[in-house]
A and B are shown apart, each in its own frame.
Chain A
Amino acid sequence: MTDERTMQLISAAADGELTADEQAELEQLLESSSEAREFAVQLEQLDAILCESPRRDVPDSLHARIVDSVHLPGISTQPSGHPWMRLPDVGALFRYGLSVAAGVLLAVSLYESQVLLTGTPDFSDLVGTMAPDRVVAEADIVDVYDFRADGFASLAQLQRRDGNLYLDIQIEADQPLDVSVTISPAGIWPGALAQLKHSFESIAIADSSLKVRTTGERRLTVLLSRVGDTALDNPAKIELEFSSNGRLLERGLLQAAW
């Protein structure tokens, strides 16, 4: 009959939780007892069967059931089909030596569903069909930065959707909050933006950077554009700076491989 101590050592050995002394003790015990060896073999078989037991797939409808039944507090970040505003290729403008130091100060007075394009929209190919709502692909969140201070809250996410990277920023501010976004490495710039839940007080765009000022509840999504293979080897880095009335509140960083 194998004694209790030996069986306990064999069990712990199956978990890789023996000390060196216990391991040596067990080896001696196994050498001297065929019963102990038999017990060890049986536990090894049991271990193998349990380890190899297949994991069951979750029933098809369960994920939706779970997500639908959970209520979260606070602001929501459901993807939305809000219009995109194309921005000039400021990186290219820089390469041609043009200064965009003043950026593009947009006196934005967009209604939520209004499309704004730089230049005159080209409707020449429009043949008069009402298109159905575009289906917004599910985005993967690849990095998140959460900022909270007295009177301010912001959630910044780097999302990947359809092979593109998007920067999504939600803001709740009791008083004017300045958010500065600096994108690196060189060759990546804010290519397009959509703003949801009313307009920002100001948006300034320069080469690889974006500054917004706002009060209240706002949301901004920025499509990141890149030149050629830029950032394929190095991750895209998004530096965030939150300040109010000239006082720096917090700095943060988001990053992701393209």
Chain B
Amino acid sequence: MDRDLETKMVMACQKGDRKALDTLVRQLEKPVYNAAFRMLGNPDEAADVTQATFVKVFENIQRFDPGRRLFSWTYRIALNESIDQLRRRKRTQPLADTPRSSSDVPQDNVESSQLRDEVQAALMTLNEEQRAVITLRYFSECNYRDIGAILRLPEKTVKSRLFEARRKMRDKLCQHGVFSS
């Protein structure tokens, strides 16, 4: 959705237009759900966080400045909701929906599926801040500037967090023999 149309949709929502609401939710729900899933590693919690995110976004839509990007604001809320959910859990747990056995995955995809599971497990070992930058960079396709805008960080900090996150993931994958160390 281009920026002009997004702005118009936001303004329509501010006037109570549920059709515009439907369009905006449809546009953003998949990336938001995927970002929440990568943060949480659990599809049910990701769905709850996605719902809570949109409720918060549209509860406050009257105060939203249509000149800003809705996706930045929405991602920010989604990541904060995910972090709150992680804190409620009190402990970080490995990917909850990984019990995808080779029986429900085509045989020729088993290897890549296991690799993805290893990567997701490595992602879950990162702290919240590092996981947020990896999620935005890879699963929401944001650049440094977007990530900085969403997390309200200078681009330099985004760069160093991404570096630390990658190094940690790489070390974890080396430990599990995915990469040779």
- Give the docked Cα–Cα distance between A7 and B162 (Å): 11
- Give the docked Cα–Cα distance between A156 and B143 (Å): 35
Smallest beta-carbon distance B94→chain A, Å: 16
Interface residues on B, range: 35 or more
Are A78 and B8 closer than 8 Å at their CB atoms?
no
Give the chain B neighbours of A58 by CB distance below 8 A.
29-30, 33, 47, 50
Are A50 and B143 closer than 8 Å at their CB atoms?
no
* Interface: A234 (CB within 8 A): no
* Interface: A45 (CB within 8 A): yes
Give the chain B neighbours of A8 by CB distance below 8 A.
159-160, 163
Given A46-B166, A53-B139, A70-B21, verify A75-B47 contact (CB < 8 Å).
Answer: no
Interface residues on A, range: 35 or more
Interface members, chain B 119-177 (any A CB < 8 Å) = 119-120, 134, 137-139, 143-144, 159-160, 162-163, 166-167, 169-170, 173-174
Are B166 and A43 closer than 8 Å at their CB atoms?
yes
One digit per residue, 1 when the CB lies within 8 angstroms of any chain B CB and 0 when it does not, for chain A 51-71 equals 101111111001101110111
* Interface: A24 (CB within 8 A): no
* Interface: A100 (CB within 8 A): no
Give the chain B neighbours of A30 by CB distance below 8 A.
none
Give the chain A neighbours of B20 by CB distance below 8 A.
77, 141, 144
Contact of A55 among B43, B50, B139, B163 (CB under 8 A): B139
Are B166 and A74 closer than 8 Å at their CB atoms?
no
One digit per residue, 1 when the CB lies within 8 angstroms of any chain B CB and 0 when it does not, for chain A 30-47 equals 000000000100110110
Are A17 and B18 closer than 8 Å at their CB atoms?
no
Are A144 and B163 closer than 8 Å at their CB atoms?
no
- Give the docked Cα–Cα distance between A139 and B159 (Å): 43
* Interface: B61 (CB within 8 A): yes
Give the chain A neighbours of B96 by CB distance below 8 A.
none
Smallest beta-carbon distance A192→chain B, Å: 20
Top 10 nearest A-B pairs (CB, nearest first) are A74-B16, A144-B8, A11-B163, A50-B138, A146-B11, A70-B58, A72-B16, A77-B17, A66-B54, A74-B15
20 additional contacts, CB 8 Å, given A70-B59, A146-B8? A7-B167, A12-B163, A46-B169, A49-B119, A53-B120, A56-B33, A56-B34, A56-B37, A58-B29, A59-B43, A62-B29, A69-B51, A72-B17, A73-B62, A75-B16, A77-B18, A141-B19, A157-B12, A157-B17, A159-B19
